[in-house]
Chains A and B, each alone.
Chain A
Amino acid sequence: MRNSMKVAKWEIKRNMMNKSYFISLFLTPAIFIFFFTVPGMFTSDPADDELLVYVDDRIGVWEQAEEHISRENMNIITDSSFESEDEILRELEQYTEDAVIIQITEERIQSGAVPVYLSEDVDEMAVFQFNALEQPLRQLQLENLGLDETEAALASAGVSLTPVSAESETEAVEEAAADPLERLVPGLFAGAILFAIMFTGMMIFQSASQEKKEKVSEMVLSSVTPSDLMQGKIMGYFVLGIVQVLFWAAVALPLVQWQTDIPVFDYLFVPELALLLLIAIAGYLMFAAIFVSLGATAEDVNASSNFQGIIMMLPFLPFVFIGPVLSDPSGTLAQVASFIPITSPAILLLRLSVIEEWPWVELILALLVLFGSILIIMKLAGKIFKTGILMYGKNATPKEILKWIRQ
């Protein structure tokens, strides 16, 4: 273990000094920030500018609807009074800032159209911000037509179709209350970790292959055992991957929270995250073991055979199942894919991000299968690595690899 740590330390140091790692560490968040902020600079968001709202309410409807109208980015002046439409239009022309004038009078209600006057640059969509006025206005209109207050209120509320599922009422209430992002955020984070460290994991392939190509492995193996070397590489690249992900997360998450108002951090740091991270790490260990042993079989990445190419594609297999699993996260396909080691980490993360009630029994069984497979894969990878890393000068064929496993 001590020797593995030394190898890990070396791999970390060697790569941290490496330009390509450095570039990917900083460039990715830089690109992210660029795409997140730069387009916003060119498109001015109307919500960003303060909207002046003049309300000339002669009936008192505004007061009834006021609490349902968002006051964000709005400066509302309710004691305005305008004589005529011409005056309103003249007034609006004079404003340099965005302004809206709402005039509510008896006549307007009777005519059924309450105008919302907009200054030149204000988008017509701004009208929807005052939707809350519609219901009390309709009620007034109905009262004017002779209905009493209760009848008018009832009629103006309208009739709507309400879905009622077979779920117990409390669950339905909970579900309605729960924000889907609450589950999704930790899942997405763990998924991002899985894929980011998996990409770093692919660097293990290169590292093992390079070690073989540069013929340095024999020298290293005179000091440490092959399994020390393999474990050291897996650990080293894990740390490199994690450093990368955490750095990216440290840049991206506050940015997302700031720009979208989603309480990302509240959603992220929940107990469930620990399990999701465990699955992501298990996934990494499995693919890292596959990659490191595969790297030991190929001297030249470009000249590696189709066989190596196919294995390299394995981590992307779960993508095929994303659609069907999302449409039915508890379906047969999702369940089967949770028990196949190659797809299991990604599919489990995906399912746990969307399923409200986690299927614990199934989850524990799937994890046991996953951990068992990792142990077996690691053992086999060790055998392949041990022989492959010293076989200079050629890429191993699948037949040879099979033979090493049987040894």
Chain B
Amino acid sequence: MEKVLSVSQLGKSFKDRQIISDISFEVHKGEIMAVLGPNGAGKSTTIRNIMGIMYPDEGDINFHGYGDGAIPRHRIGYLPEERGLYKNVKVMDILLYFAELKDYPAKKAKERALHYLKKFDLEGKEKTSVEELSKGMGQKVQFIASIIHEPELLILDEPFSGLDPVSQELFKKEIRNLADNGTAILLSSHQMNLVEELCDRLFMIHRGQKVIYGTLDDVKARYANFKCTIRGRNDRERLQQLTDVQRVEEQEGRSVLHLSRETHVPGWLRQIPEELDIQELSIDRISLHEIFIGIATDRLGAKEADLIEK
């Protein structure tokens, strides 16, 4: 797969505090790569360093196809975490301004702006002043501003924060659409459910360091252990004694049995004692959200993983 961006051994400190260190990953054409991590993990710092808004203390950032160290600003779309637009201007004016800053032809920009405004349910709002828009509408306009110039690489810092579920779906669909059309997308988020549905690969960062890097399937295979949910009245002690059960959580008449990573599911199912009260039973892998919580709270430990890249 064609590489668009390579980040290698990136490091940045403020005062004496190391914010990020040894961050390395790549973003490929047409894929959605997610940088995940709890608040303060160093996601935005990583992105700001890539954008040249901050300068890294260590490491290299390479945009393939452009000279060493050069940042092809006009080929990158960027939606920062801190959202804002000029207040006293019209929607179309601000979109055209951002297109002009990216050297994108005004005529094409106008067409695209109208197309996207329609797509995001903002048809007819092009002459509205930005200050009259709701927060959600403002975010949509800003999203349009970041993609108006058909970027090769789109960097989205927490694109879903503050959006209602309908808008989240809209954004998700559009991000997928852009990737399918060949845009390389790097997004950061802490909303794991959205990322899980969207991203092809992920890079999880915790306390400024890499903890997981690989494709979603690989990450799941490696980190997302199986869990068995049983509805029925059972003694917790009894469940805990079953083979491969690491811990048991009880919630409203259900017991969630977290199984160890090596568990062979058919074999494990066969050895379930007959006397257990089972009204319902389901087996699935723990979600990215749970992996994330586990890492963020150090339950999974800072297990570093370097998964096979695809």
Contact = CB atoms under 8 A, between A and B. Distances in A.
Contacts of B40: none
Contacts of B51: 221-222
Given A214-B87, A219-B146, A224 B82 contact: no
Contacts of B76: 222
| Residue among A3, A6, A222, A224 with most chain B CB within 10 A | A222
Interface in A221-261: 221-225
B73 A224 contact: yes
A222 B80 contact: yes
Nearest to A222: B78
B78 A219 contact: yes
A223 B82 contact: no
Given A3-B101, A14-B89, A390-B53, A219 B84 contact: yes
A223 B74 contact: yes
A220 interface: yes
A316 to B, nearest CB: 29
A223 B98 contact: yes
Contact of B84 (A10, A13, A214): A214
| Residue among A13, A14, A223 with most chain B CB within 10 A | A223
Contact of B101 (A13, A210, A220, A392): A220
Interface in B64-87: 73-74, 76, 78-80, 82-87
B21 interface: no
Given A220-B101, A222-B51, A223-B73, A17 B89 contact: yes
A17 B145 CA distance: 21
A215 B88 contact: no
A18 interface: yes
A390 B79 CA distance: 14
A216 interface: yes
Contacts of B84: 214-216, 219
B53 A224 contact: no
A218 interface: yes
A18 B86 CA distance: 12
Contacts of A10: 97, 100
Contacts of A210: 87
Contact of A221 (B53, B88, B97, B100): B53
Given A222-B51, A224-B101, A14 B88 contact: yes
B228 to A, nearest CB: 46
B: interface residue count bin: 20 to 34
A223 B145 CA distance: 11
A227 B262 CA distance: 56
A222 B146 CA distance: 10
B140 interface: no
Contact of A14 (B73, B86, B98): B86
Contact of A222 (B53, B93, B100): B53
Contacts of B142: 219
A12 B98 CA distance: 15
Interface string A389-407: 0101000000000000000
Contacts of A3: 101
Interface string B88-105: 110001000110111000
Contacts of A18: 88
A206 to B, nearest CB: 12
A215 B142 CA distance: 12
A225 B74 CA distance: 12
Contacts of B101: 3, 6-7, 220, 223-224
A214 B87 CA distance: 8
B300 to A, nearest CB: 33
Nearest to A10: B97
Nearest to A389: B53
Contacts of A17: 88-89
A162 B147 CA distance: 82
Nearest to A229: B101
Contacts of B145: 219
Interface in A372-397: 390, 392
Nearest to A225: B52
B82 A218 contact: yes
A324 B305 CA distance: 76
Nearest to B89: A14
Contacts of B73: 222-224
Nearest to A20: B88
B51 to A, nearest CB: 5
B219 to A, nearest CB: 29
Contacts of A211: 86
A214 B85 contact: yes
Nearest to B15: A403
A404 B52 CA distance: 17
Nearest to B76: A222
A3 B97 CA distance: 11
A215 B44 CA distance: 15
Nearest to B82: A215
Nearest to A390: B53
Interface of B: 48, 51-54, 73-74, 76, 78-80, 82-89, 93, 97-98, 100-102, 142, 145-146
29 contacts: A6-B97, A7-B101, A13-B93, A14-B88, A14-B89, A14-B93, A211-B86, A214-B84, A214-B86, A215-B82, A215-B83, A216-B86, A218-B78, A219-B79, A219-B85, A219-B145, A219-B146, A220-B101, A221-B53, A222-B73, A222-B78, A222-B80, A223-B73, A223-B74, A223-B101, A225-B52, A390-B48, A390-B54, A392-B82
Interface of A: 3, 6-7, 10, 13-14, 17-18, 210-211, 214-216, 218-225, 390, 392
Given A219-B85, A222-B51, A223-B98, 15 more contacts: A13-B93, A17-B88, A214-B87, A215-B80, A215-B84, A218-B53, A218-B80, A218-B82, A219-B78, A219-B84, A219-B142, A219-B146, A222-B76, A222-B80, A225-B52
